[in-house]
Amino acid sequence: MGGRVRKESVVEGMKTIHQKSLYSVGFLVVVLALAAAGCGPRAYRGGEGTDRPDIDEPAMSLTLDRLDLAYLVDRTFETLEASRFWRDTVVRGPERPLMAVWPIQNLTSQHIDDQMDALLQSIQTRVLATGQARLVARDLQRDLVREIEVRQDVDVFDPATAGQLGRQLGAKYFMTGKLSGVDERIRNQRRMQYILFVQVVDVETGEIVFQNEAARTKSLKG
């Protein structure tokens, strides 16, 4: 009888130890999960009106980001709207002229198609925001450019081609340009200088009525 009691006590004791082990393992799993959640990647919503309004400020790389594009476009339009051409011809003209904004040519060594598309959109938005010029519908312009690109002997960035297409679109002026970059390295530092060159050309005469360069520099150390 005593042997049976001792056996049952041993079994109960083993069950208790097993349960405690399970509790300990479960607790450890929870602790590790919480630790992993604290150390893992976190997503932030930044910008005006959030708890991270400065999230756009730090440069993540030498590639053009949204703030760089905004800076280049701002400098370009500050000069454009202060120019004699804009004040005397556009603002004081009998009607708001129709403008076509041509694709900006990427002359840098970087593959930045998304940034170039964003740059074009930003320029088009700024033209409309002046309230002093009209803009050719982008879809219509894009379709015409695509038509021309099918022909291997035509350069869509050539001023003569742009002028011809501008006339087809009924535009009075077309704005075009190029983005170039100077990449420099010394020891553990690298510097990238971006230059946005923009021209506005009279479609009928081919005259360059506005021209400007805006520059933005980024540096990476380490």
Higher-scoring residue by pLDDT: 22, 50: 50
d(CA 181, CA 140): 30
Q: Which two tokens stand for residue 212?
A: 């400007």
Contacts of 80 (CB under 8 A, 6+ apart): 86, 198, 200, 210, 212
Indicate whether this model's pTM tops 0.85: no
- Report d(CA 2, CA 7) in Å as an integer: 9
Q: How many CB atoms lie within 10 A of CB 188?
A: 8
For residue 18, which phi and psi values (nearest 5 degrees)?
A: -65, -45
- Distance between CA atoms of residues 163 and 155, nearest Å: 12
Residues in the chain: 222
The residues spanned by each domain of the chain are: 1-42, 66-221
Span 151-198, pLDDT tens digits:
555 565 666 666 777 777 888 998 989 999 998 888 888 899 999 999
- Cα separation, 103 vs 167, in Å, equals 16
The pair of structure tokens assigned to 40 is: 């893992």
Q: How far apart are CA 65 and CA 80, in angstroms?
A: 23
pLDDT tens digit string along 134-156?
998 877 767 766 665 555 555 65
Tens digits of per-residue pLDDT, 209-218?
999 999 999 8
> Taking the domain 66-221, which CATH number applies?
3.40.50.10610
